[in-house]
Amino acid sequence: MTHSKFVSLAKAWLLSAKQCNPVFIERGSAKTNEIPDAIGWNSKGSIIVECKTSLSDFRADTKKPFRIDPKSGMGKFRYYLFPLKLYNRIPIEELPEGWGIGVVDVTRIYPVMSQVRCKNSKEWPFNIEAEFYYMRSRVLQIQRYGR
């Protein structure tokens, strides 16, 4: 399964299971240089989902400045989404404390959100200014270009 298919699953999961609206995918914030794979908002706050399809990508993500200093990043709640095969290869001590974990069995013909098993995220301190900037730029883009 490709990264873009995982991002589509993350978006669908945010819309349905987490009741987020709006949800945006693969758009960045100039305030933090953070580009969440999926980010959505519900009545409890913002949720980001980072989709990882390789161990090297996962390890690189944990070294980013807004991961090292969580209050500088976006997302009141934070999740990683992994294919089952990759999740089974990650040493337990490398999984970041407090992040929610979603696992998808991609061997199924139609991997759907019911196939995602989640450990819930804790509440994180987050950069509200970056989120406001992000939301404003998305709204302006929609107003200007209709997308």
pLDDT tens, residue by residue, 45-95? 999 999 999 999 999 999 999 999 989 999 999 999 998 889 889 998 999
With vertex at residue 98, the alpha carbon angle to CA 57 and CA 81, rounded to the nearest 5 degrees, is 40
Identify the top-confidence range among 40-49, 81-90, 134-143.
40-49
Total count of domains within the chain? 1
Whole-angstrom distance, CA of residue 74 vs CA of residue 54 = 22
pTM: 0.86
Q: For position 113, what pLDDT does the model report?
A: 47
With beta carbons less than 8 A apart as the criterion, state whether 120 and 76 touch: no
Residue 135's pLDDT band (cuts 50, 70, 90): confident
Question: What CATH number is associated with residue 20?
Answer: 3.40.1350
Residue 122 Cα distances to 27, 61, 64, 136, angstroms: 24, 19, 19, 26
Q: Between residues 31 and 47, which one has the greater pLDDT?
A: 47
Model pLDDT for residues 111-128, shown as the tens digit of each residue: 544 445 567 889 999 998
Mean pLDDT of the chain: 86
With beta carbons less than 8 A apart as the criterion, state whether 104 and 6 touch: yes
Q: For position 75, what pLDDT does the model report?
A: 94
With beta carbons less than 8 A apart as the criterion, state whether 82 and 102 touch: yes
Mean pLDDT of 34-46: 94
Q: Give me the half-sphere count of Cα atoms (radius 13 Å) on the Cβ side of residue 11.
A: 14
Judged against a pLDDT cut of 70, whether residue 136 lies above it is answered with yes
Count Cβ atoms below 10 Å from residue 144 Cβ, excluding itself: 8
| Structural domain that includes position 17 | 3-145
Q: For position 85, what pLDDT does the model report?
A: 87
Q: Six-digit token pair at 52? A: 């990882």
3-class secondary structure for 84-105?
Answer: HHHHCCCCHHHCCCCCEEEEEC
